[in-house]
């Protein structure tokens, strides 16, 4: 029996397989053509506790996608969309100072 196809690829693997720059992947995400996801252990969004797979707001990720390669490797995610939710949640308490959740470029998946 063959293994199923991979469910996720890192942004770097996706860019490599498609022969594109990581900035192109970020651009497509901002246009709603694909979602970029990651997993978190816990974030507080108002009175809700959120954990597990989340979709990341592309606008929070823009600094990662500088074509010059000078962008940060860690970002503060302030808006997240938990799995099976339609609306964005604002992180009021998380792993980053003053709200937000830290996201690392190498942990983001497409």
Residue 28 DSSP SS3: helix
Between vectors from CA 63 to CA 110 and to CA 10, what angle results, nearest 5°? 20
In a domain? residue 6:
no
By residue range, what is the domain housing residue 60?
11-107
Residues 6+ apart with CB under 8 A from 21: 15, 67
pLDDT in tens, 5-16: 888 888 889 999
| Total domains present in the chain | 1
The overall pTM is greater than 0.75: yes
Q: How far is CA 87 from the centre of its chain?
A: 15
Strands 101-104 and 89-90: unpaired
In a domain? residue 55:
yes
In a domain? residue 4:
no
Closest CA relative to residue 108, chosen from 20, 13, 21, 1 = 13
pLDDT in tens, 16-34: 999 998 889 888 998 999 9
Residue 75 DSSP SS3: strand
pLDDT band at 98 (very low <50, low <70, confident <90, very high): low
Give me the pLDDT at residue 82, please: 94
**Residue 73 scores a pLDDT above 60:** yes
In a domain? residue 2:
no
């Amino acid at each position: 029996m063959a293994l199923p196809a991979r469910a996720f690829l890192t942004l770097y693997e996706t860019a490599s397989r498609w022969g594109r720059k990581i900035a192109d992947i970020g651009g497509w995400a901002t246009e709603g053509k694909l979602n970029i996801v990651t997993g978190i252990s816990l974030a507080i969004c108002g009175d809700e506790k959120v954990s597990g797979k989340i979709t990341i707001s592309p606008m929070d990720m823009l600094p990662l996608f500088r074509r010059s390669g000078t962008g940060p490797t860690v970002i503060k995610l302030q808006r997240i969309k938990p799995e099976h939710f339609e609306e964005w949640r604002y992180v009021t308490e998380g792993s980053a100072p003053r709200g937000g959740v830290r996201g690392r470029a190498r942990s983001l998946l497409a």
